Amino acid sequence: MADTQATCPMESHFVRGEHTLKVPMSLFRENRERLAAVLRGNTAVPEKGAFVVLQGGVEVPFNDTDISWPFRQESYFQWCFGVEEPDCYGCIDVTTSESILFFPRLPAEYAVWQGTLYTTDDFRKRYAVDKVYYTDEIADVLSERGASVLLTLNGLNTDSGLAAREAVFDKIGQFNVNNTLLYPEISECRVIKSPREIEVLKYVVKVSSDAHRAVMRTVRPGLAEFQAEAAFMHHAYSVGGCRHVSYTCICGSGHNASILHYGHAGAPNNRVLKDGDMCLFDMGANYCGYAADITCSYPANGKFTEDQKMVYNAVLDARNAVMNAAKPGVSWSKMHLLANRVMLGGLVKGGILVGDVDQMILAGLGEVFQPHGLGHLLGLDVHDVGGYLPGHPTRSSEPGLRKLRTARTLKAGMVLTIEPGCYFIDCKLDEALANGDQAKYIVREELERFRGWGGVRIEDDVLVTETGVENMTDVPRTTEEIEAWMTVGRNSKLPQECKFSDA
Ligand SMILES: [Mn+2]
């Protein structure tokens, strides 16, 4: 390899330049070793000859064209190997923790389109694994090594309901395959983050926090929602080296702030911000596969009205209550209910609701104003795996709690979002007003003022420590902090007003 400078793409780090975090490939080796150790402790796994076999993400063409969707590695494969290329396989010898990668054998003329075609030895150094072969050699390599059982990945993602991609290759039929052992074990490994993983998560959360800060100073009436999205993505990539966001940016202003997954294809962040709007911007960058997931809510003009303050503080109080109470041993479901209780209490103080808050929760009012869970595990996936593994609490059928992506007891090393919200969603409000058990708590005349008002969500990314939680997010949170931060740059031009002739 001729190019050996620090940013050489074949160096055994993930890095995007001197100004971005250098992620050593030992992060993935440690993950593999953790997994192999857990599997060695599983009595159903033979002492010799067991191999984890994972298939990496595949390149997906855009419909019938010769263009592909931007590639993002499959998360279990990323967790084990950190490989950036598509169409690979990876194996781990459970007995020795030895790692083997298989890369596609590309025709020589690909060099014209892709540049140098790397050798298996280049890849071995790049990803710091023990052996590298071509994908057409998998069956031969595994038989030579005396594989007695292949552990493949098969399981349903409890957020999407979709199945993990189980490894398949030519001649896999000649092996004994077990596809039930691996999924719960590797998913549980992913739930508890290693110190090196935490370092990457802290980095991507910091980059995303700064990108939100940049957006806050860009936002003003007249800006389009997608211009806020553009400002976020520009900062995350240009400053943080994050080529991807972890999910489509949700940039809802005004009424759109009450649409939980606004920003989708049919509503592509295309409204223009108006004076007096609340903005709810939920955006998170992705670095080396690891996700951030942060939501900031603030007025488009940088100054809260009394109503905006009331709703915002009801949510902020809920967030603070959870921040203070969350620690190892605490049930996430209890935290969800705590957040509901504090937030609904704020709406009582604000005059929108009347009555006993605990009774309201039993009547399902929590889900009317916050029709989503308090938060979720975060890692390589924005809604990370492990929420409902065997041996942990199952999904509740109660209002509100049934929306939780996990009901687990907190454990040190978990990373989660804390994201209470309060939304004025017409269909939810109409349903509640038509339901006597719920309507009796609602002060109709007061509520009407908030129709079309949107919503507030405050979302932080936290690490569960031995004694509590550490908030990795660093954005202005109180109304005073937000107003002070947004004072700067109020008079700068909108992007569409900047012409080249200005230069
Ligand atoms: Mn989230």
CA 2–ligand 1 middle distance (angstroms): 43
d(Cα 292, Cα 182) in Å, to the nearest integer?
26
What pLDDT sits at residue 5?
42
Q: Cβ distance 26 to 14 under 8 Å? A: no
Residue 1 has pLDDT above 50, yes or no: no
Cβ neighbors of 217 (< 8 A, separation 6 or more) are: 485, 486, 488, 489
What pLDDT sits at residue 41?
98
Tens digits of per-residue pLDDT, 391-434? 999 999 999 999 999 999 999 999 999 999 999 999 999 999 99
d(Cα 28, Cα 112) in Å, to the nearest integer?
31
Q: Which residues have C-beta under 5 Å from ligand 1, the single-atom ion?
A: 293, 417
Catalytic residue among 74, 93, 381, 419: 419
Q: What burial class does residue 380 get, using C-beta atoms within 10 Å of its C-beta: 0-12 exposed, 13-18 middle, 19+ buried?
A: buried
Span 365-392, average pLDDT:
97
Do domains 13-191 and 195-491 share one topology? The answer is no
Q: Could you tell me the pLDDT band of residue 500, with boundaries at 50, 70 and 90?
A: confident
Span 225-246, average pLDDT:
98
282 catalytically annotated:
yes
The angle formed by the CA atoms of residues 42, 43 and 47, to the nearest 5 degrees, is 95
Architecture in CATH of 195-491: Alpha-Beta Complex (3.90)
Span 119-125, average pLDDT:
96
Q: What burial class does residue 28 get, using C-beta atoms within 10 Å of its C-beta: 0-12 exposed, 13-18 middle, 19+ buried?
A: buried
What pLDDT sits at residue 10?
62
CA 379–ligand 1 middle distance (angstroms): 11
CA 372–ligand 1 middle distance (angstroms): 10
CA 324–ligand 1 middle distance (angstroms): 19
Q: Output 64 or 490, whichever has higher pLDDT.
A: 64
Q: Could you tell me the pLDDT band of residue 492, with boundaries at 50, 70 and 90?
A: confident
Longest dimension (CA), the chain: 76
Write out the H or E segment, with its range, that includes residue 367. helix 365-369
CA atoms within a 13 Å half-sphere pointing along the CA-CB vector of 179: 14
Tens digits of per-residue pLDDT, 185-211? 999 999 999 999 999 999 999 999 999
CA 462–ligand 1 middle distance (angstroms): 12
Poorest-pLDDT segment among 109-113, 137-141, 272-276, 493-497: 493-497
Residue 6 has pLDDT above 90, yes or no: no
Whole-number CA gyration radius for the chain: 25
419 catalytically annotated:
yes
Q: Which of 333, 383, 377, 341 is nearest to 362 (CA)?
A: 341
Catalytic residue among 229, 277, 282, 461: 282
Mean pLDDT over the full length of the chain? 96
Residue spans per domain, the chain: 13-191, 195-491
Residue 499 has pLDDT above 90, yes or no: no
Was domain 13-191 assigned CATH 3.40.350.10?
yes
User: pTM for this one?
Assistant: 0.96
CA 282–ligand 1 middle distance (angstroms): 8
